[in-house]
């Protein structure tokens, strides 16, 4: 793991400003994926590291690596500087637990919304409704590259399939969320990714849609996609055999207990799919209380200690500081945001995160 630190971003002092009035404007042209990759390239050394990290995650899914996969980091990224500080801390911690835990950092730059709201760094990096996607996409790629250069595998949730070619060469693990697991375009996108893909169960708690998604993603597809040069093209995918189910609960009820895990295993077996599972310690599994993530993690570790080899991964929402803060009302002129605190779902703080991973490492040893 490289010890060199990436250069800081120039966005530490973030303020939420008044949302500008909506006015008609000409469409803004974006760089093509190929152009952005040339602006923010991946070196041969980094590309080899990313290939090795993807293989390490595949080995955990196949049972050839007994380490616990832990996808951990902020619910969503709104300040690249705070995210990079988090990454530096996680890189140091990773070295202490690397014998039994493989930490992967959440670098989530898209935020699914039930209705409306801030949609993430890639869409609105100014947090002001200006929708500067050109800057947001570039910032997202730059941050992911900086995190990867620290030696950490990078994870994200891909919501917009057209965004994938701007970022996918930097990703080791990808989530397809509860609202999009049933989407055919997302299954087609997953079938073309080199990263391992985790399909979350539906918001209702239904596991079958995630199992169906695994089957669909494993097959080749012809589909419409954004090409490297920014033009639509018919793309043929090869299929992605490296997928799994993420248990995230549903309708406010958890699904990480032994009975739920066994039921999920039976559905996967009946479909002829890999029975390895990840548990999302947040969302419905924590009953929307970020402090309960610790309880969920302990319960999953207890099942592993009891001999359950299907539970190979965990997901934690964690930031430098505990909790969350609201984005200010547009009726106010400005309000500084607290550094290192989520503006979407509440997260556990760094001290709790460090304690959880160190104690988990001791139990796993």
Asked whether the CA dihedral 153, 248, 254, 216 is positive or negative, the reply is: negative
For residue 17 the two structure tokens come to: 């400003």
Question: Got the DSSP string for 24-74?
Answer: --PPPPPPPHHHHHHHS---HHHHHHHHHHHHHHHHHHHTS--SEEEEEE-
Q: What is the CATH number of the domain that holds 137?
A: 3.20.20.70
Predicted pLDDT at 112: 87
Domain assignment present for 120 = yes
Total domains in the chain come to: 1
Q: Which tens digit of pLDDT belongs to each residue from 47-106?
A: 999 999 999 999 999 999 999 999 999 999 999 999 999 999 999 999 999 999 999 999
Mean pLDDT by 10 residues, the chain (365 residues): 44 37 66 98 98 98 97 98 98 98 98 88 94 97 98 98 97 97 97 98 96 98 94 95 97 95 98 98 96 98 97 98 83 71 97 98 96
Q: Burial letters for 3-41: b for 16+ Cβ neighbours within 10 Å, e otherwise? A: eeebeebebeebebbeeeeeeeeeeeebebbeebbeeee
Q: What distances in angstroms separate CA 133 from CA 116, 123, 136, 140, 177, one per listed residue?
A: 17, 5, 5, 10, 21
Domain assignment present for 216 = yes
Domain assignment present for 41 = yes
Q: In this structure, how many other beta carbons lie within 10 angstroms of the beta carbon of residue 289? A: 10
Nearest to 73 by CA among 147, 138, 170, 167: 147
Strands 222-226 and 232-236, how do they pair? antiparallel
Q: Where are the alpha helices (DSSP H) in 250-349?
A: 258-270, 293-305
Q: Which tens digit of pLDDT belongs to each residue from 12-34?
A: 333 333 334 444 566 788 999 99
177 and 200 in contact (C-beta within 8 Å)? yes
145 and 170 in contact (C-beta within 8 Å)? yes
Predicted pLDDT at 334: 56
Domain assignment present for 9 = no
Domain assignment present for 20 = no
Name residue 334's beta-bridge partners: 17
Residue 225 belongs to domain spanning? 33-364
166 and 121 in contact (C-beta within 8 Å)? no
Strands 15-17 and 334-336, how do they pair? antiparallel
174 and 193 in contact (C-beta within 8 Å)? yes
Burial of 326 (0-12, 13-18, 19+ CB in 10 A): exposed
Asked whether the CA dihedral 265, 196, 178, 237 is positive or negative, the reply is: negative
Predicted pLDDT at 263: 97
Q: What distances in angstroms separate CA 118 from CA 77, 84, 114, 172, 287, one per listed residue?
A: 11, 21, 11, 26, 22
Q: In this structure, how many other beta carbons lie within 10 angstroms of the beta carbon of residue 80? A: 27
Domain assignment present for 239 = yes
Question: Got the DSSP string for 151-208?
Answer: T--EEEE---GGGHHHHGGG-SEEEE-TTTTT-HHHHHHHTT-SSEEEEEPPTT--SH
For residue 314 the two structure tokens come to: 């965990």
For residue 297, the number of C-alpha atoms closer than 13 Å in the C-beta half-sphere is: 27
Domain assignment present for 21 = no
Predicted pLDDT at 28: 83
Domain assignment present for 23 = no
């Amino acid at each position: 793991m490289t010890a060199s630190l990436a250069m800081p971003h120039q966005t530490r002092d973030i303020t939420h400003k008044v949302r500008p009035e909506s006015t008609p404007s000409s469409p803004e042209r974006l760089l093509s994926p190929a152009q952005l990759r040339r602006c923010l390239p991946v070196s041969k050394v980094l590309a080899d590291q990313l290939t090795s990290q993807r293989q390490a995650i595949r080995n955990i899914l196949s049972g050839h690596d007994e380490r616990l996969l832990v996808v951990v980091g902020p619910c969503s990224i709104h300040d690249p500087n705070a995210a990079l500080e988090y990454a530096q801390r996680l890189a140091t911690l990773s070295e202490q637990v690397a014998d039994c835990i493989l930490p992967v950092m959440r670098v989530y730059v898209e935020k699914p919304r039930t209705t409306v709201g801030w949609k993430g760094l890639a869409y609105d990096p100014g947090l002001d409704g200006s929708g500067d996607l050109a800057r947001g996409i570039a910032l997202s790629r730059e941050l992911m590259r900086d995190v990867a250069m620290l030696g950490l595998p990078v994870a994200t949730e891909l919501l917009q399939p057209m965004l994938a070619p701007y970022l996918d060469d930097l990703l080791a693990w990808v989530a397809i969320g509860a609202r999009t697991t049933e989407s055919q375009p997302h299954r087609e996108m997953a079938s073309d990714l080199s990263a391992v893909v985790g399909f979350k169960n539906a918001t209702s708690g239904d596991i079958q849609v995630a199992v169906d998604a695994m089957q669909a993603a494993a097959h080749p597809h012809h589909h419409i996609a954004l090409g490297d040069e920014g033009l639509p093209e018919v793309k043929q995918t090869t299929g992605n055999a490296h997928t799994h189910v993420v248990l995230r609960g549903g309708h406010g009820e958890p699904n990480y207990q032994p009975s739920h895990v066994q039921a999920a295993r039976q559905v996967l077996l009946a479909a002829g799919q890999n029975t390895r599972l990840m548990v999302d310690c947040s969302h419905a599994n924590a009953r929307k209380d970020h402090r309960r993530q610790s309880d969920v993690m302990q319960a999953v570790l207890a099942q592993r200690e009891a001999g359950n080899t299907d539970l190979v991964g965990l997901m934690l929402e964690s930031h430098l500081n505990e909790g969350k803060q609201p984005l200010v009302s547009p009726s106010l002129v400005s309000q500084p945001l607290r550094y290192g605190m989520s503006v979407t779902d509440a997260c556990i703080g760094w001290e709790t995160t460090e304690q959880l991973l160190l104690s988990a490492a001791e139990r796993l040893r």
